[in-house]
Every structure is written in C-alpha cells, then in structure tokens.
Amino acid sequence: MTEHTLRDKVAVVAGGAKNLGGLISTSFAEQGANLVIHYHGDASAVDAEKTAEAVRAAGSKAITVQGDLTKVGDVRRLFDAAVDEFSGVDVAVNTTGMVLRKPILETTEQEYDTMLAINAKAAYFFLQEAGRRINDNGKIISLVTSLLAAYTDGYSTYAGGKAPLEHFTRAASKEFAERGISVTNIAPGPMDTPFFYPQETPERVEFHKSQALGNQLTQIEDIAALTRFLATEGWWITGQTIFANGGYTTR
C-alpha cells in the first residue's frame, strides 16, 4: 500500500505567515515537509520570517515569498519560486481571505471589488496555477467558510465571495483527477483569530460560541490537524467542502 506522508514533500502555503497559515506551515514541517511560505505585504514580513525560522528549527527547509494573489502574475511567481527552490510542489494550501461584515445597502463598489478579488479571483488562479505546477498525486486544499451553510445578515460579500470556490473546487477535482490530484475545501466556523473579532459585537461573539460543541469558536489547531489529514491519509477525499465547525452549522 502506498504510504501517504509529508516527509520530503514540498508545500506551498498561501497566507502562511501567521495564525492558521503559520500553524499549518510549522505543523507540516514537523511532519517532514519543506515549506514555501507566502505573505501578502510588508506588515507580515516579520511574521513570515519567524515562521520560516520555526520550520527550519523543526529540521525542514523554508523560503518566504511576498505577493498580492489578486494579481495573476504574483500567483505564478509564487509557484515559480517553489519550483526553482525545490524542483516541484506536492501540496498547495490556500488560507487567504478577507472578512467584511457590512449591510448590502452600505457596501461600496470598491469594497465589493476588493472582497471578490481576494476571496474568489485569487482562489481561482491559485487553483489554476497549482493544477499546472503540482506533482502528480498532489493535494490542493482551500479555506472557505461555514457561512456557506448559514443564513445570516451582513456577510454578503464574504460568504458570496467564498461561494464560487466550491464550484471551482468541484471542477478542478474532476479535471485534475487523472493525475491523482485531490482538491478539497475546509469550511471552518467562526475562528478564534484576530480577523474575527473586529466584525462582531461581544454579544454576537457569545452567540457564535453557543452554537458549537464545547461552547467555543473554531480553534486553528483543529483546522491545521484536518489540513494535515487531507494532505496525507485523507488523499482520497476530493471535490468536497468539509464543514469543520463543532456543529456550528451543516447541510
């Protein structure tokens, strides 16, 4: 039986500098993978290098690559850097996204364009370039949101921007299947990260907690563990969106 591990594999992690992406990067390194850690801008450069140092401390290799993934050229440059440094890519994980909670009647055209560019366009071309550059039997994993199965207010451009990624993933899973590449989505519930709290009132935070097992928000450790599984023993799962949220919502 084929052994599905991360040892000596190469993983590209978009948004891999900190929070969930940083934890995925370091946990992959602990399993023996070499890392290409993407970060968006100068504000994340220090975090990206700290994560790269943690990867090296775990005995793996790492490079950092800055890029605006809403620009197709930067997506290609990210994968170019991975191939140039490590001669290939085995796992590609896209954790990037932008959250905005705002009523439809107050949303500007610029906000709409920004949200759709980050949550849909960047995700599409990450899938495209990963499909072009990833080795046979590779894994592509994207982060979406449990709001895709929720009926709520305020998140029209966030949930709406993430929704197309389900369809992109289904198509990619069929198109890349002959090369043994699995393509999946993870849909966390509201996560206990700095991105969540500015969007919500304290009362709404408590409500979100009350809807999940253990009366808690989604923890990044649980999502990182699921990501590792999909990149290894869970290789046969493809075309799916997995709602990993402690029962926050389902469908």
Tens digit of each residue's pLDDT (9 = 90 or more) over 89-108: 999 999 999 999 999 999 99
pTM: 0.95
* Per-residue pLDDT, 235: 96
DSSP readout, 52-115? HHHHHHTT--EEEEE--TTSHHHHHHHHHHHHHHHS-EEEEEE---------GGG--HHHHHHH
Confidence of residue 84 (pLDDT cuts 50, 70, 90): very high
Superfamily covering domain 10-244 = NAD(P)-binding Rossmann-like Domain (3.40.50.720)
Residues 167-217: tens digit of each pLDDT: 999 999 999 999 999 999 999 999 888 878 788 888 988 988 898 999 999
The pLDDT tens digits of the residues spanning 136-157 come to: 999 999 999 999 999 889 999 9
